[in-house]
Amino acid sequence: MGKKGISAFGSGMRTAPVVSSVAVRNDRRPTGGYSVRVLEVNVRDIALLLRGAQLRKAAACDAALSPLGANLSQWGVLRAVAAVPDASAHSLAVQTSQSDQSLGGVVAGMVSRGLIERRQGPGRAIKHRLTPQGSELLDRCEKVVVEAMVEYLEPLTDTERVLLQDLLRRLARAD
């Protein structure tokens, strides 16, 4: 059952119930051997930790992209347009987890900068393609995002990075 205490949502609120306990083997003891700890899993903590990690990642990527005149949202749109040339605005919005209105604003700015071109599609649909300048910017963005992510993930060992990637894939695919 939940415990009463101080939480990130304010003083005195009830914390989320523990959903499981797990014994964890810790091989990092400097004297050799290993120790076992029992950790309680609090779903609210997981939600807050994921959000905090996402915010730190977004800030690191935005800071790396800024000198290129880009941000994380624009990089996502460049990637989506490159992955699916001639995609509709709605399709791009879905791919980039933006509303149609938000995507429209981002794309309009990118069109005015000569990064994306729009063409009339069937019916009312508008098709989107990268211009040569857009492709070049995407290549530059890819490099700085990789550098930012390597730095962001620096606290993790190689094994922990592989585990994190596997866990995030499983969560992203969960139905």
Within 18-131, where are the H helices? 43-65, 72-83, 89-95, 100-112
Which of the pair, 56 or 42, is modelled with greater confidence?
Answer: 56
Q: Is the pTM of this model over 0.85?
A: no
Domain spanning 64-144, CATH class: mainly alpha
10-34 tens-digit pLDDT: 444 555 556 666 666 655 556 655 6
Domain ranges, ordered by start, for the chain: 64-144
Q: Tell me what the pLDDT averaged over the chain comes to.
A: 85
- CB within 8 Å of 38: residues ≥ 6 apart: 21, 22, 23, 24
Q: What pLDDT shows up at residue 41?
A: 77
pLDDT bucket at 125, cuts 50 / 70 / 90? confident
Whether residue 166 has pLDDT greater than 80? yes
> What tokens does 13 get?
């609120």
Q: What pLDDT shows up at residue 90?
A: 92
